[in-house]
Structure formats: C-alpha cells, structure tokens
Amino acid sequence: MQIFIYIMIFAFGLVLGSFFNVIGYRVPKHESIVFPASHCPKCKHKLKTLDLIPVFSYLFLGGKCRYCKKKISVIYPIIELLTAFLYVLSYYLYGPTINFLISITFSSVVAITIASDIRYMVIDDWVLIIGGLIILVLGYIDGGLPKVGDLLLNAGISFAMILIIKIAADYSFKKEAMGGGDVKLMTLIGALVTYKMSIIVLCLSAFIAFPYAIYIYFSKDEHLLPLGPFLCISGLIIFFLGLGFDDLMMIMAK
C-alpha cells in the first residue's frame, strides 16, 4: 500500500511538473497558460496526447519534436523529474501532514522558479506571492496565528538582511549583483528556514554556483548568472535537512 502511495505521488509530481514547465515558459512572456493549447515552441505545431506524457514522450522522441525534428530543451524532463522527486521526498519526510503540503508548495515554487529563471532570468512575483499565501494559510491551519507570526517575522528579517547584502554587492561591483526577484525568493525561503539560516542558504548557493560561474566567465561573452536556481537548490537542502542555526554551529564546532 505504501509503495502504491509513493508511485501515485511520483506520477502526480510528473504531471504537475509538466504544468510547471508551461507556467515557467509562458508567464514570463505574459502569455496565457491555457490558450493556445500545448505546442512546439519552435514550429508551433499543436502537440498530441502522446507528445505530452511527462519524461516518457521526451525519451521516446529522442529529445526532438515529432514534427519539425528540432531539439526539445532538456529543461522539460528535468523539471518534471525534479518535481516528482521532491514530492516523494516530502511525503517520505512528513507523511500525510500539513508539513507535507507546505513542503510540496515550496517545491512547486522552486520548480517554476528554476524553469523560468534558467530560460529568461526572470522570477515571477505572482508565483512567489501565491506560494507564500498558501504557505501562510497552511501555517495558520497547523499552528494558528503564532505560526503565521513566526513565518512573517522570519520573512521580514530575511528580506531586510538580503536587501542590505544586495545593495552592498551592487555598490561594490558597480552593477546589479543580485536581482530583485532573488531578494523576494530569499524572503520566502527565509520564512521557511528562519532568517538566520537564510544567510547560510545564500552562502551555500554561492558555493554551489561557483563552478558554473567560472564556466560562464570563460566560455560566454555575457557573464550573466541566473542565481535563482542555485538559491532554490541550497534552500531545498537546508529546508529538507531541517537544520537550525544552533544545530549548524554545533556541527561546525566539532
């Protein structure tokens, strides 16, 4: 029975991951997520049901459009598999609880953010706002006003700290070192992992992004790095590990 639940959650994650790809692809371009129907971004041909099976269609078609034979971005199956994996991990860690719903809400925001930031270097405000509101509602159901107050307090302090870091970095590098979307994303992450750990998330993201930053610097003319995906990855690591700041200090002291 438990295996069946995991299979269903994984399948559900794949389907939603496919939908998150649509959101990440269309919303930054101010396009409807409903109309027109799913189509190839290259030749605009309407896709059939067999073309839309998450992951499997990509593998079956060899990563190419059935109609124009142009390559399909590998981002599509990656987001689908990532969403499915995070949903299963969330259920494994939290079971059928409010924390499970909070976790998959955060995972959904992460999937959409990665999909849009990699493509366009855009983190949509509405994705963060809707995700944040859902988390607040779930927090209220779980712990009432004290839980909501705790989430808002951590979000507010995280926002102030990251904004100060952004202003200082922009001034030091004489250009925008961190986008406004990254600051808002860190606000949501800080609400979930606490404001103290939000700084750890930021530092960890810089460490994870460093190899890719080196690659961009030496291989591309424009040295632009989408920071959002790395913030998401480091945020997920801290969130799922459940480490508090005091726990981290004790580990480092040993």
Instruction: Please indicate, yes or no, if residue 111 is contained in any of the structural domains.
Output: no
Q: How many domains does the chain have?
A: 2
For residues 76 and 200, membership in a common domain is answered with no
* pLDDT for position 70: 86
In a domain, residue 195? The reply is yes
149/43 same-domain check:
no
Question: pTM for the whole thing?
Answer: 0.91
How far is the C-alpha of 41 from the C-alpha of 151, rounded, in Å? Answer: 39
Domain assignment present for residue 205? The answer is yes
Same-domain check for residues 155 and 51: no
What pLDDT does 218 receive?
Answer: 76
pLDDT (tens, 9 = 90+) of the chain, 254 residues, equals 789 999 999 999 999 999 999 999 888 888 888 777 787 777 877 888 888 889 999 898 888 888 888 898 899 999 999 999 999 999 999 999 999 999 999 999 999 999 999 988 899 999 999 999 999 999 999 999 999 999 999 999 999 999 999 999 888 877 777 889 999 999 999 999 999 999 999 999 999 998 888 887 777 666 677 889 999 999 999 999 986 655 555 555 55
Shared domain for 243 and 133, answered yes or no, is: yes
144 and 234 fall within a common domain: yes
**Four-point Cα dihedral 225, 14, 190, 95, nearest 10:** -150
pLDDT digits (tens, 9 = 90+) for 200-240: 999 999 999 988 888 877 776 666 778 899 999 999 999 99
Tell me, yes or no, whether 197 lies in a domain: yes
Same domain, 61 and 152: no
Shared domain check, 153 and 84: no
Asked if residue 134 and residue 80 are part of one domain, the reply reads no
Token pair in block for residue 102: 């909070």
Residues 205, 183: Cα–Cα separation, whole Å = 13
Domain hosting residue 79, numbered range: 1-96
Closest residue by Cα to residue 179 from 156, 157, 162: 162
Assigned domain for 30 exists: yes
For residue 146, tell me if it sits in a domain. yes
| C-beta separation of 152 from 191 below 8 A | yes
Q: Does a structural domain hold residue 107? A: no
The answer as to whether 136 is a domain residue is: yes
